[in-house]
A and B are shown apart, each in its own frame.
Chain A
Amino acid sequence: MDELITYAPELARGFLENVKLSLVALVVSFILGTILVAMRVSPTPVLRAAGTVYVNVVRNTPLTLVLAFSALGLSDQLGLVFSDQPETNSFWIVGLGLGAYTAAFVCEALRAGINTVPMGQAEASRAIGLTFFQTLTMIILPQAFRAVIAPLGSVVIAMIKNSTVATAGGFLADSAATMKIVFDTTGASIPIFLGVIAAFMVLILPIGYFTGWLSRKLAVVR
């Protein structure tokens, strides 16, 4: 128990990095996921194909490889640099990489949601003169989002846990990396394990309950 108390500040700092990474990835994944799903249902074959290729490549690549590619390929080789500070740079590489990876899952959840919206909704929208883009953003996606709030909650939960493989992208300040560094001095410690697990539970459990409640509250009645 002592080692948990001793190293609590370091572990808390690491955990906070996971929260920050998750927030960045959340914003990126929802924006990019929405753009991807718009591409995948668009009437333009080139956009549809591009969306499909992105989702299939990214979704089927292990996250550790996506992050390693982001760090070694995009950043080191191709010079995509966000900051002179190596730690700040790798934070953004990992946050954006995790967001880009999760976007594929957000896209597919939303696409499932679009399938729950009856054809007639789009027809009625087109019939009053709304364009494809207006129909998608005002009629289809709002109903699709509400239909998949619970599955999106699961995507977000997986994303938060995935933030602990940040090391693969060269970011060494998150809770998993911090825990490993602490273990190097203390040896494996069950209280520290349990402490980190408890922190994630406290963060993630409410998300499950909240999205469940929200999906019931916002359900579109037909």
Chain B
Amino acid sequence: MTENGDVTPLVKLEHVDKHFGALHVLRDINLTVSRGEVLVVIGPSGSGKSTLCRAMNRLETIDSGQIIFDGQPLPAEGKALARLRSEVGMVFQSFNLFAHKTIRENVTLGPVKVRKVAKDAADRRAMELLERVGIAAQADKYPAQLSGGQQQRVAIARALAMDPKMILFDEPTSALDPEMVQEVLDVMVGLARDGMTMVVVTHEMGFARKAANRVVFMADGQIVEENTPDEFFTNAQTDRARDFLSKILTH
């Protein structure tokens, strides 16, 4: 994780708290993500794991504490925040491809409008990325014409087109039909192998075992346990984690 010599963490959360009304969704979260690390966040629904993921590019604001990205506190708003977001990719549960734009336009929009890359250069890069995720043949179709698994692979290509320092995955396979889960996970495993820093909220234990460096288990807005995947899945330390694992691993 420190092959490039830079040992400062890419993301550092310090005493982060957040409420949704009366609900305390994040409780005193302290967490670091190293450069090149693949961090899997698991936990029961309502545990705050999606909120944690979304807080890292400020799609959710936090009430107190601070989040440091690449040595800088997350900007609150405006151009500085937009710049930060352009460096952090995000892949959503519901894909969220721009419905009125073609696959190619979905992938080139960010580079052209945010990075000011020339149109044809952005186009070439988009086609490379679509090739990599196996969707190049569909470049001129609209999102609704693609299957869920294909749309999610395009969403990954859209994130990659910004050359992000990190990609956040918020339950990327939860909305997919079962037969399409693997094609998306394969792309993600490939990214992990290439050294992309990834924070992945998921229930896919196979992915966690294969690609994660570390697993964080959350419940009730707190980080309950943090460990290597092997150690976590075979030898969970807390009752909450053992209870959760018994529920998802039995079927």
Interface residues of A (CB under 8 A from B): 118, 120-121, 123-131, 134, 138-139, 142-143, 146, 220-222
Cross-interface CB contact of B109 among A120, A128, A146, A222, cutoff 8 Å: A128
* Given A128-B114, A130-B82, A221-B142: A123 and B100 interface contact (C-beta under 8 Å): no
Chain B residues whose C-beta falls within 8 Å of the C-beta of A120 in the assembled complex: 92, 94-96
CA–CA, A143 and B142, complex, Å = 14
Chain B residues whose C-beta falls within 8 Å of the C-beta of A128 in the assembled complex: 85-86, 89-90, 109-110, 114, 158-159, 162
9 interchain pairs (CB within 8 A)?
A124-B98, A126-B85, A127-B57, A128-B109, A128-B110, A129-B110, A131-B78, A131-B82, A221-B99
Inter-subunit contact B59/A127 (CB<8 Å): yes
Interface residues of B (CB under 8 A from A): 57, 59, 78-79, 82-90, 92, 94-100, 109-110, 113-114, 142, 144-145, 155, 158-159, 162
* Given A120-B94, A123-B59: A129 and B99 interface contact (C-beta under 8 Å): no
CA–CA, A124 and B89, complex, Å = 10
Chain B residues whose C-beta falls within 8 Å of the C-beta of A127 in the assembled complex: 57, 59, 85, 88-90
* Closest Cβ neighbor of A146 among chain B residues: B100
Inter-subunit contact B86/A129 (CB<8 Å): yes
Inter-subunit contact A220/B100 (CB<8 Å): yes
Inter-subunit contact B98/A129 (CB<8 Å): no
Chain B residues whose C-beta falls within 8 Å of the C-beta of A146 in the assembled complex: 100
* Closest Cβ neighbor of A117 among chain B residues: B99
Chain A residues whose C-beta falls within 8 Å of the C-beta of B144 in the assembled complex: 221-222
Inter-subunit contact B85/A129 (CB<8 Å): yes
A1 shortest CB reach to chain B, Å = 52
CA–CA, A134 and B57, complex, Å = 18
Cross-interface CB contact of B79 among A131, A143, A221, cutoff 8 Å: A131
Chain B residues whose C-beta falls within 8 Å of the C-beta of A134 in the assembled complex: 113
CA–CA, A210 and B59, complex, Å = 40
B80 shortest CB reach to chain A, Å = 11
Residue among A124, A127, A139 with most chain B CB within 10 A: A127
Inter-subunit contact B99/A123 (CB<8 Å): no
A215 shortest CB reach to chain B, Å = 14
A117 shortest CB reach to chain B, Å = 8
CA–CA, A126 and B59, complex, Å = 8
A144 shortest CB reach to chain B, Å = 10
Known: A128-B85, A128-B90. 14 other contacts (CB 8 A): A118-B94, A120-B95, A121-B96, A123-B90, A124-B97, A124-B98, A126-B59, A128-B89, A129-B82, A129-B83, A129-B86, A129-B87, A130-B82, A221-B99
